[in-house]
Structure 1
Amino acid sequence: MRSTFNDLDFELARQLFSPLNKPFTKSTANSLELLVDYQGSQYPTKGALLLFGKDRNRLFPDPFIRLARFEGVAKSEVIDQAEIKSPLPLAIDEVLAFIQRNTALGAKIHSARREDIPEYPPAAVRETVINAILHADYSTQRSPIQVAIFDNRLEITNPGPLPFGLSLETALSGVSQLRNKVLGRVFRELQLIEQWGSGLNRISSVCLQQNIAAPKFEELDHFFRVTLYPRTAKVAPSESWHISIIEYIQQHGKISAMEAEKLWKLTRRTATSRLKKMCQAGILVELSTGPFDPYKTFILAEPRNQPRKT
């Protein structure tokens, strides 16, 4: 049965746009491509129904997001679980609330006041959740977004690999091919995202700035997963080839790809790949004007993330 204009919850849309002083009208819906013309009538797009569809059980019998808190570090015993099929703008806060109640909260005392410290950095968690919702493949409704919380990590997995022709390395450099453009437009209008293509970089940057182990990004067949590590996790052990670069930068202050190539006695391509991996691990910071800057250099990140000789 074809969905109609009446299947959209325009009142919900108005409530979400109102705090931003943005009126939501039928003209707004058309400009955001929530509606399409077909044989003289207007019908909601799939993105519109995901965002503002009314009858959720009829439109989407399976959940969009499945969440679980597991005991220990494996998917054995479930402590808490939930399923979400709410309109996507509302689903974000529901996911964040589940994660908050199932992760630890530390504290830091500043003279007479107490500062609560979440186990995972909220900005990185929020960015990861939004990234998964934006880039999920909703054509297969029986493969929901999965949020899995363990004692030692938080995994957020969405159905749908990176778009064809987009490598993980390219995605981490800030290049993006948005799978769900209607969702992207609305999320941007609602100020849920700042700019397309900056999500993965922002997740890494937040962890680096807070001296937390670098997140892990994986393509798993037809899925994409981001793994976040808690503040208590130790930075992963370094590779032996890290040491020579660390010592060079400690002596010279910085290093270029050409200098790393000579130091490692490798090709430029392999040296550049290694330097990027060290950046992703939170060991180095790249200084450049863009991904293709021929004069880019690398410096040491925070001392906590520098590997030691053994």
Structure 2
Amino acid sequence: MVNADGELKAAAVLLFGKNPKKFFVTSYFQIGPFDKTDSDSKFQDLVEGYIFDKVKSVMSLLKQRDIPPVISYDGIQRIERPEYPEAAIREAILNAIVHKDYTDSTIQMSVYDDKIILWNPGKISEGLTIENLKAKHPSKARNKNIAEIFFKAGYIETWGRGIEKMMSAMRDYGMPEPVFEENSGGFQVTFVKEIYNADTWMN
């Protein structure tokens, strides 16, 4: 992944560089747990490093501290059930990393008691709408080299099915479908935990 002058391309630095933040200052992933309002921030975590390993790092952090599994017992057997389907959250994180505009702001994940909001500074590709994304649509990667590496590693598909997979995973988990929006020049996904919370939040 070098250019005609033998220099590393931006994608190579972001994917495998030890410190991509040195060249792309907003390449980190920002996670902030909140109470009821945006003014009730508890703390924040910054997940840095090369982006190829970032999905694993973010998912691990979420499990450990921000959205730990719900624990129940069947007799003496301990049962752990994630609050949200991991497939949906993982797909949203992958989508944000692959389609991020790395010249813009950071990816921001806000975790509340009743919802998760993930904002990515990457606009929807020209010619697509929110409704298009919910149906079968062509895959239009902003960062083609990054998308190609993630595809070859088996992390993503090239068929533009990420939104569909998020929706399906939430439905199968008995939870409301995610809410997709264009917000502040970026793309936002909101996962709401309960049906009644979804009705309240969207109204």
Partner of 2:2: 35
The 3 A distance-change label for structure 1 pair 118 and 78 is same
Partner of 2:144: 181
Task: Measure, in 1, the Cα distance between the counterparts of 2:43 and 2:153.
Answer: 30
Measured after TM superposition, the shift of residue 57 of structure 1 is: 4.5
CA contact (8 A) 1:66 1:144 kept: yes
1:122 equivalent to 2:86? Answer yes
> How many residues were matched structurally?
198
Of residues 155, 175, 190, the one that matches 2:153 is 190
Partner of 1:226: 189
Partner of 1:151: 113
TM-score, length of structure 1 as denominator length: 0.60
Residue 99 of structure 1 aligns to a residue in which SS?
Answer: helix
Of residues 153, 156, 166, the one that matches 2:128 is 166
CA distances 1:61-94 after superposition (whole Å, capped 9, x unpaired): 344221111122x211221311123100111122
Of residues 17, 20, 25, the one that matches 1:53 is 17
Residue 196 of structure 2 aligns to a residue in which SS?
Answer: coil
2:189 partner amino acid: V
CA contact (8 A) 1:213 1:234 kept: no
Partner of 1:302: none
Partner of 1:296: none
Q: How does 1:1-310 map onto structure 2 within 5 Å?
A: 34-38=1-5, 42-72=6-36, 74-100=37-63, 101-140=65-104, 143-175=105-137, 176-230=139-193, 232-234=194-196, 236-237=198-199
2:23 partner amino acid: L
Measured after TM superposition, the shift of residue 43 of structure 1 is: 1.5
Residue 156 of structure 1 aligns to a residue in which SS?
Answer: strand
1:53 partner amino acid: G
Identity %: 28
Task: Measure, in 1, the Cα distance between the counterparts of 2:75 and 2:19.
Answer: 52
Measured after TM superposition, the shift of residue 112 of structure 1 is: 4.5
2:164 partner amino acid: N
Unaligned runs of 5+ residues in structure 1 are 1-33, 239-310
Residue 80 of structure 1 aligns to a residue in which SS?
Answer: coil
Residue 66 of structure 1 aligns to a residue in which SS?
Answer: strand
CA contact (8 A) 2:19 2:49 kept: no
Residue 183 of structure 1 aligns to a residue in which SS?
Answer: helix
Partner of 1:5: none
Residue 155 of structure 1 aligns to a residue in which SS?
Answer: strand
CA distances 1:235-275 after superposition (whole Å, capped 9, x unpaired): 7449xxxxxxxxxxxxxxxxxxxxxxxxxxxxxxxxxxxxx
2:170 partner amino acid: C
Residue 95 of structure 2 aligns to a residue in which SS?
Answer: helix
Task: Measure, in 1, the Cα distance between the counterparts of 2:191 and 2:180.
Answer: 9
Task: Measure, in 2, the Cα distance between the counterparts of 1:115 and 1:206.
Answer: 20
Residue 79 of structure 1 aligns to a residue in which SS?
Answer: coil
CA contact (8 A) 1:218 1:224 kept: yes
2:29 partner amino acid: I
The 3 A distance-change label for structure 1 pair 172 and 57 is closer
Task: Measure, in 1, the Cα distance between the counterparts of 2:129 and 2:190.
Answer: 18
Give the number of the structure with larger relative contact order, counting CA–CA contacts within 8 Å between residues 6 or more apart: 2
Q: Alpha carbon RMSD of aligned pairs, Å?
A: 2.0
